[in-house]
Copies of this chain bind each other. A is one copy, B any other.
Amino acid sequence: MSDFLLDVPRAERIGFGEAVFCAGKSVAQIDAILDDAAGRRLSMLLTRLDEDKYRKLRHGAALDYDALSRTAYAGEPAPVAASSVAIVTAGTSDIPVAREAARTLAFDGYGAVQIDDVGVAGLWRLMQRIEELRAYKIVIVVAGMDAALPTVLGGLIPGCIIAVPTSVGYGVATGGRAALDAMLASCAPGVVVVNIDNGYGAACAAMRVIKSHKTS
C-alpha cells in the first residue's frame, strides 16, 4: 500500500484540489492516505465514503463528513465564495448526487445554488424558476428515470448544461442507463453528460469552465 501516490502533480497541473475515491478502498487504505495527507498538510476531498466505513476510520473525528452525499473534507477546504453555478434536481431521490456536486465545488471554494424537485412531469415548478436559472453561466442538472429535465432546460437557457444521470428507479430505469441514454440523445443542442451518479465529475467539469473564465 506504500505505493499509493497522492496525485499532487495532477492537482497542480489541472487546478483541482486533491480527491480520493473511497468506494474500492479499505478502511486501512483510507487511513493510510489520510496519514500521508496529514504529514504533508494537504487538504483532501473524500468521495463515496459510506457512513459505516467512515465510522471505522481512525481519522474519522478530524473529518468534516456529510452522510447524504457520502463526502468528507480532510484539512481546511477553501473559503467559499458565490459562483455562477446552479444545481437542479428532478426529484428528491436525486439530491444525494446533487449534494456531492455541491460539496465538491465548496471544497475548492465555489458556492452554488441548489434548486430541488423541478422535474418536468410537474412543469409549473420549473417554470417558476426559469428566469432565475437563465442568469447562471453553468447549470448542473441531476435527473434519473426518463431524465427529461436537461432537454427542456437546454431549450430555454443559454448557459452551460452539465447533465448527471442518476441510478434512481426500477425496471428499465435500474442502474441509470435509461437516464444516461436519454441525456446523450437530448434534442437540446450542447448538453454535455457525465457518468451515472457522478456528482463529483460534474462539479469538476463546472470548475474547468469557471477557471477558463479567469484566464480570459
A residues touching B (Cβ–Cβ < 8 Å)? 1, 3-5, 7, 9-10, 13-16, 19, 21, 23-25, 29, 48, 84, 90-93, 95, 114-117, 119-125, 137-138, 145-148, 151-152, 154-162, 165, 167-198, 200-201, 203-209, 211-213, 215-216
Contacts and interface: CB of A to CB of B under 8 A. Distances in A.
Contact of A155 (B95, B123, B156, B184): B123
A50 to B, nearest CB: 13
Contacts of A170: 23, 48, 195-198
A209 B207 contact: no
A104 B4 CA distance: 23
Contacts of A137: 212, 215-216
A203 B170 CA distance: 17
A125 B6 CA distance: 10
B189 A181 contact: no
B181 A172 contact: yes
A182 B184 contact: no
